[in-house]
Amino acid sequence: MIVGRGRREEELPGNGSGIHVGGNNNAPIQNVAGQNISHVYQHASVQGAVDIEAVRGLLTSFRAEIDRNEGTLDHATALRAMTDTVDASLSAPDPQARAGALRGVVQALPALVAGTVVEQGGEALVHAIAGWSS
């Protein structure tokens, strides 16, 4: 007779399970059972620690990534439009208009770059915008 619904060891996810633990490290770790766990990513929030030149640098880099990978991107035109919006917003004299446009990019860009070759650059740009505009 089996009592309870405990999880048997062979039902545990194997190596390669993705776990997000926060911080800025990327390294294998071991769980308490001694199994190696890979694909562990950490990142730290940089809000308030980013200047406009850092955002411009990431924007330039992200545009170059889009150009290099245009043939493999389903949303290359939309991504370029977003970079144009960011560029215009960085120079906008009205803080309210700038904040609204950048908020839209921060909300939409991650979904457009998810699973693409430009995901890392897009995510970096989003984090920089959020850090600069906060």
Q: What is the pLDDT of residues 54-98, one digit of tens each?
A: 999 999 999 999 999 999 999 999 999 999 999 999 988 888 878
d(CA 129, CA 134): 8
d(CA 98, CA 114): 25
Q: What are phi and psi of 32, to 5 degrees?
A: -65, -20
Going from N- to C-terminal start, the domains of the chain cover: 52-133
Task: With 0.75 as the threshold, say if the pTM is over it.
Answer: no
pLDDT band at 25 (very low <50, low <70, confident <90, very high): very low
Whether the CB-CB separation of 80 and 59 falls below 8 Å is answered with no
Q: Greater confidence, 30 or 64?
A: 64
Which of the residue ranges 39-43, 94-98, 124-128 would you say has the lowest mean pLDDT? 39-43
Show the beta-strand stretches assigned E in 34-86: 36-37, 40-41
